[in-house]
Amino acid sequence: MTTAREAAPAWCTDPYADAVRNERGPLFLRRADGWLLPLEVERWCAVADAADLSALRRCEGAVLDIGCGPGRLVAALAAAGHRALGIDVSEAAVARTVRVGGAALQRSVFDSLPGEGRWGTALLLDGNIGIGGDPGALLSRVAELTASGGLLIAETAQLDMDERVEVRVDDGQGAAGSLFPWARVGTRALLQYARPLGWLPVAQWSEGGRSFVSLRR
């Protein structure tokens, strides 16, 4: 199976980079059977909305935004006075994050990162719990990055699901990247992965049609 590190170039392909640069879709994750998951490029490139802020208000200490995309969350945190860093495998996403006022590095979450073991809060929003296609491995890695007692704020699928698939980034118009592993999990499945790894639930909430959970290590 493709590893998380091998999957990173898939997010650097033209369909994703072009969408970020143009700040608009359409853009999808496409399964081999043709199923499409729309990606909300326009929302990602807008300012943080009420649902985003419901999560950001809970952040503690220095914040690591994993899979920061075009940077709206890092920019909002910086504007609010938080020390925040975004990481993303996409050069276009990192460039835009810096342009809108955030700090960002072009890295995978599985690469060596600054401040390992000292981050007060880690964010996995916008479906980023799916990174690498293995929620357990991702949660283990986030535990290495956060401080003891650190917080993880994750966005979960609204449906009660636990799905691991291979997908590709697709613009719906014939341009597509290579296959890579992805996961989609609801809150119940996330908690099942998290508890054996020492992540304990703090809160669950919904805002703007999106579902969130916070956990403490």
pLDDT, position 206: 98
- Give the length of the chain: 217
Helix axes 14-22, 91-99, angle to 10 degrees: 20
- Say if residue 67's pLDDT is above 80: yes
8 Å CB contact between 140 and 64: no
Question: Could you tell me what percent of the chain has a pLDDT over 70?
Answer: 94
DSSP-derived letter for residue 117 is T
Residue with the two structure tokens 């980023």: 128
Dihedral sign of CA atoms 39, 45, 51, 57 in order: positive
- Say if residue 180's pLDDT is above 90: yes
pLDDT, position 1: 39
Domains in the chain, CATH or no CATH each: 48-166+178-216 (3.40.50.150)
Helix axes 187-194, 135-145, angle to 10 degrees: 60
